[in-house]
Amino acid sequence: MRGKSKKVPVRPVKLDEEFADVPRLFAHDGDLIVSHVVAALSSVFPDGEDFFVRSVRHYKDRIEDPELNAAVLGFIGQEVTHGREHRAFNAHLDSLGYHTKFVERLTRRGIAFRERHSPAIANLASTAALEHFTATLAELVMTSEETRESFGHEAVRNLFLWHALEEAEHKAVAFDVYQAVGGGERLRILMMKIARYAFVVSMSIQVILGLLLDRETYKPGRLRKSLAYTRKQPLFSRESWNQLKAYERKGFHPDDRPTGDLVELWRERLFGVDGAMTESVRGAA
């Protein structure tokens, strides 16, 4: 395990009541595409995170390092909480007309199929790769004011900020487990290559279908305005793509990108210095 061991605290965050007044186009300035991108991401999180938990838990008994073992418990606790809160958010989005529950079911079935046919070590390699996705996204959320602003509604921004902080806190856990159980470099890199394209293709399909089914898309000038705004977002920059690709370098480790200071900053902003919760992360952005 490279770098200092990191605390992975499980926090009793509950945001569901705050989702009640999230409007349909919740993103900044009611942006159409960003609302659909955020909904698409949230739709795949709960079942994706359940998969991450199962993939890591499978190897739990083979981890000898007590610090890594403690980090695994924290990782599981954090991912379970993320799944619960994103399911609550998805239920609200579904009630507003998004197809989030349908996508959740589809994701669950796709993952179940994969788990029936894929070796456990490949599942863990995919988990480590996808954790690099969430860590990359997390870093962006924590560093870019523009990205935080793009979420629009405060409850959505808080959900993604809290999630971002915890993704950064546990970003190396699945990776360290993969290495501790003897996972090799070739499989690790291959799984990232597959994940990178599969993720982009599946997200694009989801967003395009969502837009096609959204009446708002057909209002004059609406899509053009949203395209202009979306194109400027750091999420879709070459830099983010390169940060993802860095994972495919031999010898890569998630701690190659130090994010400790960023984690400290957001721990303090969201939860106070002593880790106590501040008004259920309200007003934290």
CA distance 120 to 56: 9
- Residue 69: CB minimum distance to Fe ion, A: 17
CA distance 6 to 170: 8
- Residue 267: CB minimum distance to Fe ion, A: 16
Decide whether 134 or 150 has the Cβ nearer to Fe ion: 134
Decide whether 50 or 216 has the Cβ nearer to Fe ion: 50
Angle at 82 between CA 76 and CA 86, to 5 degrees: 150
CA distance 209 to 217: 11
- Binding stretches for Fe ion (CB under 5 A): 49, 79, 82, 134, 167
- Residue 133: CB minimum distance to Fe ion, A: 9
| Nearest-CB residue for Fe ion | 82
Which run of H or of E encompasses 27? none
- Residue 10: CB minimum distance to Fe ion, A: 12
Decide whether 33 or 173 has the Cβ nearer to Fe ion: 173
Neighbours of 177 (CB within 10 A): 28
- Share in percent of the chain as helix, strand, coil (round to 5): 75, 0, 25
CA distance 85 to 92: 11
Decide whether 32 or 281 has the Cβ nearer to Fe ion: 281
Decide whether 167 or 214 has the Cβ nearer to Fe ion: 167
- Residue 130: CB minimum distance to Fe ion, A: 8
Q: Which residue has the tokens 């669950």?
A: 108
